[in-house]
Chain A
Amino acid sequence: MTELVIDAINLTRNFGSLAAVSSLNLQVEKQTIYGFLGPNGSGKTTAIRLFTGLLKPSSGTVNVLGCNLPKDTEKLRRQIGYMTQKFSLYDDLTIKENMQFIARVYGLTPKEQKVRLDELTSIYQLEKLTNQIAGSLSGGQKQRLALSCAVMHKPKLLFLDEPTSAVDPENRREFWEQLFDLCDQGVTILVSTHYMDEAERCHKLSILENGIKRADDSPANLMASMPANVIELSTDNLRQLKQQLISLPEVVSASQLGAHLRVLVNKTIADPMEFLTNTNIMPSKTEMRIVRPSLEDVFVLSTGHNRLSSTNINKDK
């Protein structure tokens, strides 16, 4: 069996009467990139804070890198890296000063500091910026600095809380390449996001909503086992058709994408195209085809009022 880096059982954290994380069971295997996908307020950050020992669980147990939290929090802190959602390095220090600060905090000797700083500035393309004040950096540069500081002490486990929210697509691609490099070197990465394309890159994924885990598998499996078929249709008067379609109980969701309407039909319907044609609301010249589900479809089906569970394939009103 593969080694578990994070093992959470029935993990719950309440803030007053609100359950930010509720009965979370989560297993993260070594050397994988594990994604947390969920809307704002779904408990992603709280879950990460529970795994890093920043918050104490209200109930349940969590074991990270063999450390039982919250007892072994201090021991754990030497082995993990954490990149916060908001830039949390010092805006009034230069890149080099920030990196030196982190290096000293992790107890690197002056000789080690120099070697590691050279190494990191070259990996994360910060050589030319070393004397620039962190507050004046662009979103992408700040993020590379934050990542280089998070991996300063070569952690075995890296937590990234919405790392790319202030970064353009080009830098995001680059960033993910760097994450895969780290993963290749044996680092386990837990990353939270609300971008579908990022979530799709993860080895494994949890969809969180209101502190509850709605789905948990690899992106491919999630899409394959989705309890609905996806029909893409194009015709005139899409807005009106959409309204009519979503009033049907078998139609889970319909959303417009440019000149197309993407309709999710419950898998209980064996032939969705025939079903739609027989509803008598389709305009005469409608083009229809079955398409491959996307992660966004999975997300839509797993959360909110459209939620369908794989076992209970009735529409969840």
Chain B
Amino acid sequence: MKSLLRIQAIIVKELIQLKRDRMTFGMVIMIPLVQLLLFAFAINTNIRHIPVGIFDQSNTALSRVLEQTVAATSIVKFTQNYNSLPQAQAAIDRGDVRAVFIIPNDLSQRLVRHSTIGFGLPAASDEETSRPIAQWLVDGSDMAIAGSIKSLRNMPLAELLNKPANRNVPTFEVTLLYNPEQRSVVNIVPGLVGVILTMTMIMFTSAAIVRERERGNMELLITTPLASIELMIGKIFPYIFIGVIQVTIILGLGYFFFNVPMNGGLWQLALATLLFIFASLVLGLVISTLATNQLQSMQMTIFILLPSILLSGFMFPYEGMPEIAQYIAEALPATHFIRLIRGVVLRDVDVVDMSFDMFWLIAFSLIGLIVAAMRFKKTLD
């Protein structure tokens, strides 16, 4: 009973302080809102309208049709014309364009001899007839852009000569489940919940104990009968609500604005999210008992945040990472949560079927809470 009163004391105090701190309160809303809009619009693996230049050596009606056909894919956008190879090269060096399309003098000869257009299949050894019709000079440092331009390599050219397309029969049939239109926002929005919660939840509690110490309130708190576990629970509780508000903003916007499907059950989502919020808050508390000032706690938060963004599967698939990185990823609550939320939201998986991830979040929270309570000493020694 008295223990509940003491926890209530901390919760009420934290809520009042949060209410008075308008800036922080505003950030609680603005961080998910702005980040979602930014990420949803900015992160796009289907790259379009890459600015490129053209160096047209043949300068014929045919070469202009070729240019238009390429532009029609809308993968690239021709912004510059160059008259020499060094000029084109310099433009790429400067970063004016990402690539230059070089059309040779003998475009029409190459075209008629080309295997997909010309007169039947050429002999494999015949170098003359297996030459490509034009060349791309690409700034290959960015793999995503290079990849998009590389996808133009096998562009069908039949329409260039008003001939029916010489279609190949694919070796495999590929059926895309859950995100058939391949919109990256579908994958990003649920993952973003994990990243934003990692950031805000850890940040709030990592500063929690340190701030009391820095402002001189700790000396008062530790002379009271307040137990360290009561302080920890009281510090965590108000931020659970903040986490819930943020999740609602992100998933709500995702659903109404970006048509991210919500296939799974709401209570399943709530369960997974609450577990993750709890784990992140506890992680922040552990940081708070390690740090001696707020700057340190902030640095430690970022130390956790970066791998949570890069290794959790939010940006790069977990399966593609080397084994050591996978071990690190397994240790992060964000990895397990992103698996859970993508499972629930996109694939309508029952969280019970993903019990390993659930179990891991629970274990992480409990161990963390015990570690934090034990590390927090009620003395000034």
Which residues of A are at the interface with B, using a C-beta cutoff of 8 A? 49, 52-56, 70, 73-74, 77-78, 80, 82, 84, 86-93, 97, 100-109
Point out the residue from B12, B224, B225, B379 that lies within 8 Å of A56, measured CB to CB.
B379
Q: Known: A84-B219, A104-B12, A107-B6. Contact between A54 and B20, CB under 8 A?
A: no
Q: Known: A100-B12, A104-B6, A105-B6. Contact between A55 and B223, CB under 8 A?
A: no
Beyond A103-B9, A105-B221: 14 further Cβ-contacts under 8 Å?
Answer: A53-B379, A54-B223, A55-B381, A56-B381, A70-B379, A77-B223, A77-B224, A87-B216, A89-B220, A91-B215, A97-B13, A104-B9, A105-B224, A106-B225
Q: Known: A78-B225, A87-B216, A106-B224. Contact between A92 and B21, CB under 8 A?
A: yes
B212-267: which residues lie under 8 A (CB-CB) from chain A? 215-226
Determine if B380 is an interface residue (Cβ-Cβ < 8 Å).
yes
Point out the residue from B21, B215, B222 that lies within 8 Å of A54, measured CB to CB.
B222
B1-30: which residues lie under 8 A (CB-CB) from chain A? 1-2, 5-6, 8-9, 12-13, 16-17, 20-21
Task: Write out the residue numbers on chain B whose beta carbons fall within 8 Å of the beta carbon of A93.
Answer: 13, 16-17
What are 8 A-B contacts defined by CB distance under 8 Å?
A52-B223, A55-B381, A82-B220, A92-B16, A92-B17, A101-B12, A102-B224, A107-B2
Task: Write out the residue numbers on chain A whose beta carbons fall within 8 Å of the beta carbon of B380.
Answer: 49, 54-55
CB distance from A97 to the nearest CB of B (A): 6
Task: Write out the residue numbers on chain B whose beta carbons fall within 8 Å of the beta carbon of A104.
Answer: 5-6, 8-9, 12
Task: Write out the residue numbers on chain B whose beta carbons fall within 8 Å of the beta carbon of A87.
Answer: 216
Q: Known: A88-B216, A90-B17. Contact between A80 and B223, CB under 8 A?
A: yes
Task: Write out the residue numbers on chain A whose beta carbons fall within 8 Å of the beta carbon of B225.
Answer: 74, 77-78, 105-107
Q: How distant is the Cα of A185 from the Cα of B217 in the complex, in angstroms?
A: 29
A90 touches B224 (CB 8 A): no
Task: Write out the residue numbers on chain A whose beta carbons fall within 8 Å of the beta carbon of B223.
Answer: 52, 54, 77, 80, 82
Q: Known: A77-B223, A92-B21. Contact between A54 and B379, CB under 8 A?
A: yes
Q: How distant is the Cα of A101 from the Cα of B6 in the complex, in angstroms?
A: 8
Task: Write out the residue numbers on chain B whose beta carbons fall within 8 Å of the beta carbon of A100.
Answer: 9, 12
CB distance from A100 to the nearest CB of B (A): 7
Q: How distant is the Cα of A106 from the Cα of B16 in the complex, in angstroms?
A: 19
Which residues of B are at the interface with A, using a C-beta cutoff of 8 A? 1-2, 5-6, 8-9, 12-13, 16-17, 20-21, 215-226, 378-381
Task: Write out the residue numbers on chain B whose beta carbons fall within 8 Å of the beta carbon of A56.
Answer: 379, 381
Q: How distant is the Cα of A53 from the Cα of B379 in the complex, in angstroms?
A: 7
Q: How distant is the Cα of A106 from the Cα of B12 in the complex, in angstroms?
A: 15
Q: How distant is the Cα of A70 from the Cα of B377 in the complex, in angstroms?
A: 13
Q: How distant is the Cα of A102 from the Cα of B9 in the complex, in angstroms?
A: 8
Q: How distant is the Cα of A127 from the Cα of B331 in the complex, in angstroms?
A: 54
Task: Write out the residue numbers on chain B whose beta carbons fall within 8 Å of the beta carbon of A49.
Answer: 380
Q: How distant is the Cα of A93 from the Cα of B217 in the complex, in angstroms?
A: 12
Task: Write out the residue numbers on chain B whose beta carbons fall within 8 Å of the beta carbon of A55.
Answer: 379-381
Closest to A98 in B: B13
Closest to B227 in A: A74
CB distance from B10 to the nearest CB of A (A): 8
Task: Write out the residue numbers on chain A whose beta carbons fall within 8 Å of the beta carbon of B217.
Answer: 88-90
B381 touches A97 (CB 8 A): no
Task: Write out the residue numbers on chain B whose beta carbons fall within 8 Å of the beta carbon of A91.
Answer: 215
Task: Write out the residue numbers on chain B whose beta carbons fall within 8 Å of the beta carbon of A92.
Answer: 16-17, 20-21
CB distance from A150 to the nearest CB of B (A): 9
Closest to A54 in B: B380
Point out the residue from A73, A78, A101 that lies within 8 Å of B13, measured CB to CB.
A101
Please give me the 9 A-B residue pairs with the lowest Cβ-Cβ distance, nearest first.
Answer: A104-B9, A107-B2, A88-B220, A82-B223, A105-B224, A54-B380, A105-B9, A84-B219, A86-B216
CB distance from A167 to the nearest CB of B (A): 18
Q: How distant is the Cα of A54 from the Cα of B223 in the complex, in angstroms?
A: 7
Task: Write out the residue numbers on chain B whose beta carbons fall within 8 Å of the beta carbon of A82.
Answer: 220, 223
Task: Write out the residue numbers on chain A whose beta carbons fall within 8 Å of the beta carbon of B17.
Answer: 90, 92-93
Q: How distant is the Cα of A57 from the Cα of B2 in the complex, in angstroms?
A: 30
CB distance from B209 to the nearest CB of A (A): 15
Q: How distant is the Cα of A53 from the Cα of B222 in the complex, in angstroms?
A: 10
Task: Write out the residue numbers on chain A whose beta carbons fall within 8 Å of the beta carbon of B2.
Answer: 107
Q: How distant is the Cα of A93 from the Cα of B220 in the complex, in angstroms?
A: 15
Task: Write out the residue numbers on chain B whose beta carbons fall within 8 Å of the beta carbon of A105.
Answer: 5-6, 9, 221, 224-226
CB distance from A108 to the nearest CB of B (A): 8
CB distance from A133 to the nearest CB of B (A): 8
A84 touches B220 (CB 8 A): yes
Task: Write out the residue numbers on chain B whose beta carbons fall within 8 Å of the beta carbon of A108.
Answer: 5
CB distance from A161 to the nearest CB of B (A): 9
Q: How distant is the Cα of A91 from the Cα of B5 in the complex, in angstroms?
A: 22
Q: How distant is the Cα of A246 from the Cα of B226 in the complex, in angstroms?
A: 55
Closest to A81 in B: B223
Q: How distant is the Cα of A77 from the Cα of B219 in the complex, in angstroms?
A: 13
Q: How distant is the Cα of A128 from the Cα of B91 in the complex, in angstroms?
A: 74
Closest to A80 in B: B223
Q: How distant is the Cα of A101 from the Cα of B21 in the complex, in angstroms?
A: 18
CB distance from B222 to the nearest CB of A (A): 6
Task: Write out the residue numbers on chain A whose beta carbons fall within 8 Å of the beta carbon of B16.
Answer: 92-93, 97
Closest to B222 in A: A54
Q: How distant is the Cα of A106 from the Cα of B225 in the complex, in angstroms?
A: 7
Q: How distant is the Cα of A187 from the Cα of B220 in the complex, in angstroms?
A: 20
Q: How distant is the Cα of A104 from the Cα of B20 in the complex, in angstroms?
A: 21
Task: Write out the residue numbers on chain B whose beta carbons fall within 8 Å of the beta carbon of A70.
Answer: 379
Q: How distant is the Cα of A250 from the Cα of B106 in the complex, in angstroms?
A: 118
Task: Write out the residue numbers on chain A whose beta carbons fall within 8 Å of the beta carbon of B21.
Answer: 92
Q: Known: A54-B222, A74-B225. Contact between A90 and B379, CB under 8 A?
A: no
CB distance from A58 to the nearest CB of B (A): 10
